[in-house]
Amino acid sequence: MSREPAMYGALAPWWPLVSDPADYAVEAESLRKILDLPPSGTRRTLLELGSGGGNLASHLKAHFQLTLSDRSASMLEVSRALNPECEHVAGDMRTLRLGRSFDLVLIHDAIMYLVDASAAHCRPGGSLVLVPDAVRETFEPYTESGGHDGADGRGVRYLEWVSDPDPDDTTFETLYALVLREPDGAARVELDRHVEGLFSRAEWLAWLGEAGFAPRVTVDAWSRHVFVGVRP
């Protein structure tokens, strides 16, 4: 992995104003349907690796007994505030070993930070679900903006620029320009660079197979490939 982006370290307290947990409700329900997960009330165990600020978990916790793990202690603090009833564990998804198995292991968009194919991490037991933002066949550069105001008087506005500077390698780049406004009106600008992995559909399926899973793939409403590996 590359150096931890500032957004997941020093800027982590601003994360809920960059990415509002409420915006994940539709995606969480879509993911639940794609996976044919049990209805609310049936509590299977789910380990989310690279859970970040816990936005997706805030909607999935109604359906699962969640264990949330991230390498960033700062992001885990954000998630604990949002999901105090969930177990939180600090750790790198490549090396984490909890000594217990789960019904389901989920890696959402954090899988994009595995820029080296050899770093793919698949724990034995249960099913593994990977949700990369893009595969090589569907990647398109884009620019978007967003941000939110908080009840405490803080505010964030950002510009996100996604591009592939070198189409011959296996990474792409996301640059963020963030304007952060404090409650007293003081403002500053932060720049943050993220380097993420970009692999083909066939490569993802092959890695799941090599790890001992029976792989399948489906395309969700956002044209993302969702890879599901079921351990025989």
Domain borders along the chain are: 6-136+197-230, 142-195
Sheet-wide strand order for 155-163: 142-146, 155-163, 171-181, 187-197
Digit-coded pLDDT (tens) for 33-92: 776 655 555 678 889 999 999 999 999 999 889 999 999 999 999 999 999 999 999 998
**Cα separation, 52 vs 226, whole angstroms:** 19
CB 183 within 8 A of CB 167: no
| 220-107-44 Cα angle (round to 5) | 90
Report pLDDT for 1: 40
Higher pLDDT: 121 or 172? It is 172
Distance between start and end Cα atoms, the chain: 30
Query: Diameter of the chain by CA atoms?
Result: 57
Average confidence (pLDDT) over 149-156:
97
Q: pTM for the full model?
A: 0.89
Matching CATH number, 142-195, of 2.60.40, 2.20.130, 1.10.472, 3.30.390: 2.20.130
Average confidence (pLDDT) over 4-15:
93
Report pLDDT for 25: 95
Average confidence (pLDDT) over 7-26:
96
Question: Is domain 6-136+197-230 annotated with CATH 3.40.50.150?
Answer: yes
Higher pLDDT: 25 or 116? It is 25
Report pLDDT for 2: 45
- Nearest 5°: phi and psi at 76? -65, -35
31 has pLDDT over 80: yes
- pLDDT bin (cut points 50, 70, 90) of residue 151 is very high
Sorted by sequence, the CB contacts under 8 Å of residue 157 that are 6+ apart come out as 145, 146, 147, 178, 179
CA distances from 223 to 45, 75, 83, 140, 219 (A): 27, 27, 28, 12, 6
Digit-coded pLDDT (tens) for 93-136: 888 888 888 888 899 988 888 655 434 334 455 678 899 999 99
- pLDDT bin (cut points 50, 70, 90) of residue 178 is very high
Mean pLDDT of all residues in the chain? 88
Report pLDDT for 38: 55
CB 52 within 8 A of CB 83: no
Percent of the chain with pLDDT over 70: 89
Sorted by sequence, the CB contacts under 8 Å of residue 186 that are 6+ apart come out as none
Report pLDDT for 3: 64
Q: Which of 96, 35, 91, 89 is nearest to 60 (CA)?
A: 35
| Burial classification of residue 128, based on how many CB atoms lie within 10 Å of its CB (0-12 exposed, 13-18 middle, 19 or more buried) | buried
**Cα separation, 226 vs 215, whole angstroms:** 10
Of the candidate ranges 83-97, 100-114, 150-164, 193-207, the one whose mean pLDDT is the lowest: 100-114
CA distances from 136 to 71, 106, 172 (A): 26, 21, 10
